[in-house]
Chain A
Amino acid sequence: MKRLPVIASVLAAAALGWPAQAADPIKIGVMFPLTGPIAVQAAPERDAIKQAFEEENSTVAGRKIVLLFEDSAGRPDTGLTKVKALVERDKVDLLVAELVGSVGAAMAPYVTAQKVPWVNTVGISSLTRAQKSPYIFRFAPSAYQYGLAAAESAKKLGWKKVYFIGWNAPAGHESFEAAQKVFGADNVLEPMFPNVGTADFAPYLTRIDASKADGVLIAMWGADAPRVIAQFAELGLSAKLPMFGIASFTSEELLGSMPPESVGVLSSYTYCGTLDTPENKAFVAGYKQRNNGLPGSYQYMGYQAAKMVIQAIKDVKGNVEDRDAFIAALEKVQIKGPMGVTKFDKNHGIVADFYLLKVEKGTDGQLRNRCGDKLSQVEDPYNLFP
């Protein structure tokens, strides 16, 4: 009986000293533009991230995962304010957030200063160059990266001379530089840089002489993509010159509202909706249960980024509080997903396979991308574009 108090106090001491981690949930801040024009791609990406965690029953390495959602509205000032709330008020352990370049650029210094691991799908080059930090992991290709992939895929088709038309914005100019590297500056004809949101491309498109080139590279996205395709066709150019879109030009979530002239348009990016792998089939099925429509490149990248995070949490056995260890684990993650193996490079940029895509009309009458040749494990080209 004398031992009872000793046993009791030992048990009490053990209970008090028991590591808090096992009981506390891991809090992840998930911020995207949920309102505004980008919401059409960002809200489904947030849902794909939710899907990734729900597939693990929201528990990883014995700890519950709690996702805290915020809306940046696509604006840098709003985004930064919401991130500060997530970090300082909600004390999140890490962030899986954003796809808009300006918001990402605004967040980067704050996240680095606060030492919060941040996995994003913001495809701007600076996040692995001027703004790079141990805490930032960019799970979307930079414009140099996807520009190079598109140009190389086009060259593999036998193209020698190309026209180039791209946004008058960093993504457009960087894609252009990549194209010049691949084809040689003399073989990229008449580069044109309309402003984002140009209503009428006719003044640009009427300069194209189809007899002088093998195709046209296009670095424009969102609302401008269907418009340039339609205007290209109505000026009689689609019959004479193939279009090659760079990156998410014909991304699945927008195919539903693309004009019928999109059939035959080529592109090159990290996601192909019709790729026949068990992982992709499962991903698409899970996505369709939760959303209207099919997942496109950004939804896939958000999903796969979340899976990378989940793997890293498992690798540190749930101990995300040790941020240096968690970051080291993220750097080493290599997992197979719907589009094959993905990992991070030395500057924390995405390394993934790129697929050649061609728009076709499916048996159900809907437009979809057909998967072509694969470029394996494409990296951000630091050697060509430091």
Chain B
Amino acid sequence: MMFWILQTLNGVSFGMLLFLLASGLSLIYGLMRILNLAHGSFYLLGGYIGLALLKSTGSFVAAALGASLAVALLGVVVERTLLRRLHLREMPQVLFTFGLLLVISDFSILQWGGAPETVPKPELFSRSVQLGSFVYPSYRLFIIGFGFAVAAVLWWLQERTRIGAMVRAGVDNEEIARALGINVSLLFTIVFGFGAFLAALGGIMGGPIVGVYPGADFEVLLLGFVVVIIGGLGSLRGALIGGLAVGLLDNFGKVFFPEFALFTIFAPMVLILALRPTGLFGRA
């Protein structure tokens, strides 16, 4: 019994990290129709900058906030100066974000070296707790709570605020939204920056579990895409359900079919693409 609970906790905590990453990706695509391949870079930079801030300030909260804001700023600058020149041109957008991914990947190695780094946990959650006969890291439990909190905040923003309504309008139909006087241009910048913020937050929050190292951007991006495909692009609910689904599938897959660890993630993705291409909660 305990074993099942443990594995479920594992899957859910990993799923929450995926949710943080996928939510930004989904939001950006939903509103701007941009497949942001540089999202993995935002995750990576969040990890590296967060680690640097942690080393210099000693405060995990400062590191997480500082890094996410810094990367959000980068996102805003990239969107304003470069990405918006490619509005509605899908292929150039994808190529551009891919190029950005490669550039930032190499830059990280130049700046921080290639050695894999470990991120120390925040003092409050650095110990493991006893759960029945098992020992379990309290940080992972924190991540589960944190993920749900972020999901709640995002839901509230989307459903109960004016800006959320504007974003939903923009997702539904950009032209009509513009015609109604919504400053869609500004909205794009805000959403892109916010998406980057969430990805970077995932990077530093995930640091104590997964570490920060060259190649993390590509690995996490791949998982992020699986989540948005399963959950549906443009849907916050999809990012959460998709993230949890992938986290649990990944975890239980490794437990029961260790030789097919990748298969257990990608097979459901293929099924969704075949049976319901817009994802569980996506829009056409």
Contacts and interface: CB of A to CB of B under 8 A. Distances in A.
B7 A194 contact: no
A256 B115 contact: yes
A265 interface: no
A265 to B, nearest CB: 14
A226 B255 contact: no
Contact of A37 (B114, B118, B128, B139): B114
A200 interface: yes
A299 B10 CA distance: 38
B277 interface: no
Interface in B83-136: 106, 109, 113-118, 120, 128, 134-136
Q: Which of B115, B120, B135, B258 has the most CB of A within 10 A?
A: B115
Given A37-B213, A234-B137, A206 B116 contact: no
A203 B255 contact: yes
B114 A199 contact: no
Given A207-B255, A230-B118, A257-B115, A223 B211 contact: yes
Given A236-B128, A236-B135, A40 B113 contact: yes
Contacts of B113: 40
A159 interface: no
Contacts of B259: 168, 193
A202 interface: yes
B115 A39 contact: no
A226 B219 CA distance: 17
Interface in A199-244: 199-200, 202-204, 206-207, 222-227, 230-231, 234-237
A234 B13 CA distance: 14
A253 interface: yes
A215 B243 CA distance: 35
Contacts of B137: 234-235
A159 to B, nearest CB: 23
B128 A223 contact: no
A195 B128 contact: no
B262 A195 contact: yes
Q: Which of B118, B135, B214 has the most CB of A within 10 A?
A: B118
B74 to A, nearest CB: 22
B271 to A, nearest CB: 21
Contacts of A198: 261
B182 to A, nearest CB: 39
B80 interface: no
Interface in B45-93: none
A36 B262 contact: no
Nearest to B218: A197
Q: Which of A197, A202, A237 has the most CB of B within 10 A?
A: A202
B173 to A, nearest CB: 38
A223 B213 contact: yes
Contact of B210 (A199, A206, A234): A199
A222 B209 contact: no
Contacts of B6: 206
A38 interface: yes
A36 B261 contact: no
B225 interface: no
A46 B44 CA distance: 28
A200 B135 contact: no
Interface string A242-270: 00000000000110111100000000000
A237 B134 CA distance: 10
A310 B3 CA distance: 58
Given A36-B114, A40-B114, A202 B251 contact: yes
B213 to A, nearest CB: 4
A325 interface: no
A235 B255 contact: no
B109 A204 contact: no
A333 interface: no
A256 B112 CA distance: 13
B215 interface: yes
A194 B260 CA distance: 10
A227 B209 CA distance: 8
B25 to A, nearest CB: 17
Given A206-B3, A259-B120, 10 more contacts: A192-B258, A202-B10, A203-B10, A203-B250, A203-B255, A223-B214, A227-B116, A237-B135, A257-B115, A257-B117
7 smallest CB-CB distances across A and B, nearest first, come from A236-B135, A40-B114, A223-B116, A203-B254, A234-B137, A223-B213, A37-B214
30 contacts: A35-B109, A39-B114, A40-B113, A168-B259, A194-B258, A195-B261, A195-B262, A197-B215, A197-B219, A200-B10, A200-B14, A200-B251, A202-B251, A203-B10, A203-B250, A204-B258, A206-B6, A206-B134, A226-B117, A227-B116, A227-B118, A231-B209, A234-B128, A235-B128, A235-B135, A253-B115, A256-B115, A257-B115, A257-B118, A259-B118
